[in-house]
Amino acid sequence: MKNSSEKEIPTGIPPFLRKVMEDKRAIKDAIKNGRSLTELAKERDIKFVQPL
């Protein structure tokens, strides 16, 4: 079974959902590779939610 970073993102889904799926994959890869999430957020224009 392939892990989530190797699966194809389905076609025919709304652009917003596609971006969410791509961003999730990029975040997982960044964590796995020890990359800064702040830099990733700047590169991909990801908005992280602040806890209340």
Whether the pTM exceeds 0.75: the reply is: no
User: CA 52, CA 39: separation in Å to the nearest integer?
Assistant: 23
Q: Kindly report the average pLDDT of the chain as a whole number.
A: 85
Give yes or no for a contact between 19 and 7, defined as CB atoms under 8 angstroms apart.
no
Kindly tell me the burial class for residue 32, based on how many C-beta atoms sit within 10 Å of its own C-beta (0-12, 13-18, 19 or more): exposed
The alpha carbon of 34 is separated from its chain's Cα centroid by a whole number of angstroms, namely 15
DSSP category for residue 10: P
Yes or no: say if 9 and 30 are a contact pair by the CB < 8 Å rule: no
pLDDT exceeds 60 at position 34: yes
Residue 5 has pLDDT above 70, yes or no: no
- Please determine, for residue 4, whether its predicted confidence score (pLDDT) is greater than 70: no
Average pLDDT over residues 30-45: 92
pLDDT at 10 over 60: yes
